[in-house]
Amino acid sequence: MQCKTNVNTKEIHICCPNESVEDDSKSKVVRSESKNLNRYDRRGLRLLNSVTNCGIRRPPPLTVGAGGRTARPGEYPWVALLKYKINDLRPFLCGGSLITERHIPTAAHCIISQPEVVAVRLGEHDLETEKDCYFFNGKKQICLPMIEEYGVEKIRVHPSYVHGQIGFDLAIIQLDRVIDQIWNINPVCLPIDKQSQELAYDQGFFIVGWGATENATFAPQLQEVLVSRTDLDECRQYYNKDEVNDSHICATGTGIKQTCRGDSGGPLFFEHRFKNMYREIQYGVISFGGSYCGQEQNQPGIFASVIDMLPWITQNLQ
């Protein structure tokens, strides 16, 4: 779903439910305390360091062109769907990603002034099938384990986030129990070491999700697409230039498909060096796209920067 914000007439949230909203005081949403936002929390950093099996992409990746493709079942085991308390056949309006056994970062605008998030789904691929299968080497059929849904214990929203604006668009969902790690449910890595924080100026990233496609319909199967980081001035041309800053990543692709793919809250990631090996690492959270998504060439998207807000993330992995 899409809706315009009060910041710029060309700007929208990638997903924005239009049902009646729940009062935040009745939910498990809290504003985290305004601590020193540049200070790393030792316990949180230790927890991220303990996730040794993160960022393993299965099955082995295929080459992906700029136009994108449908991901293979189980290829991105960290991708999550947020399930809302709404009367709809498709209650999944935003995405997220698994980073520990209990924590899901997503966009703050998917939480504030929206219906209540009642569950998080993991291990999904095709929303229209009960069982997801694929053929390995064109011969052997492999089926994923059944999807898992977890309740929500608490949601912490970045203290500097203001609904309707594009800054600090980040929240962390704490699940009500530890996940069952199976091959299609596994965390993505975060850039917690020096090697993983070294990015090229025009770095390429993947975005994935079940969001709107170029014909304005929502994809039943998980989609992926390749985008490239570009100068923040590119995003300032489309969005409120005073609000686009170093806490954002501006990225675009070739053609019209790139800024439509993926739900808000989903991950921006790519394979990079991590603790002297190569793993998939998340660098951003899908935040804002364009109201002419699928129609206007090369319109960039805005992503909340994980590196910039990593200290706050470590403070809120309780």
CA distance 15 to 2: 5
CA 306-115-128 angle, to 5 degrees, is 80
Tokens coding 286: 């899908």
Q: Decide if 169 is catalytic.
A: yes
Task: Find all residues with CB under 8 Å of 63, minimum gap 6, and list them.
Answer: none
Q: Give me the residues paired with residue 226 across strands.
A: 206
User: Any alpha helices (H) in 66-195, and if so which ranges?
Assistant: none
**Mutual angle of helices 42-49 and 306-315, in 10-degree steps:** 110
Instruction: Name the residue type at position 7.
Output: V
Selecting among 32, 264, 287, 305, the annotated active-site residue is: 264
Selecting among 41, 132, 169, 308, the annotated active-site residue is: 169
Q: In 10 A of CB 236, how many CB atoms?
A: 17
Cα dist from 114 to 37, 93, 205, 276, 297, whole Å: 25, 10, 28, 41, 30
Q: Decide if 88 is catalytic.
A: no
297, 256 Cβ separation under 8 angstroms: yes
Backbone angles phi, psi at 110, to 5 degrees: -80, -10
Using alpha carbons only, how large is the chain's radius of gyration in Å? 18
> In the structure, how many helices (H) and strands (E) does the chain have?
3, 18
Burial of 262 (0-12, 13-18, 19+ CB in 10 A): buried
Q: Which DSSP symbol is given to 19?
A: S
CA distance 33 to 158: 9
Selecting among 109, 125, 158, 272, the annotated active-site residue is: 109
Return the active site residues: 109, 169, 264
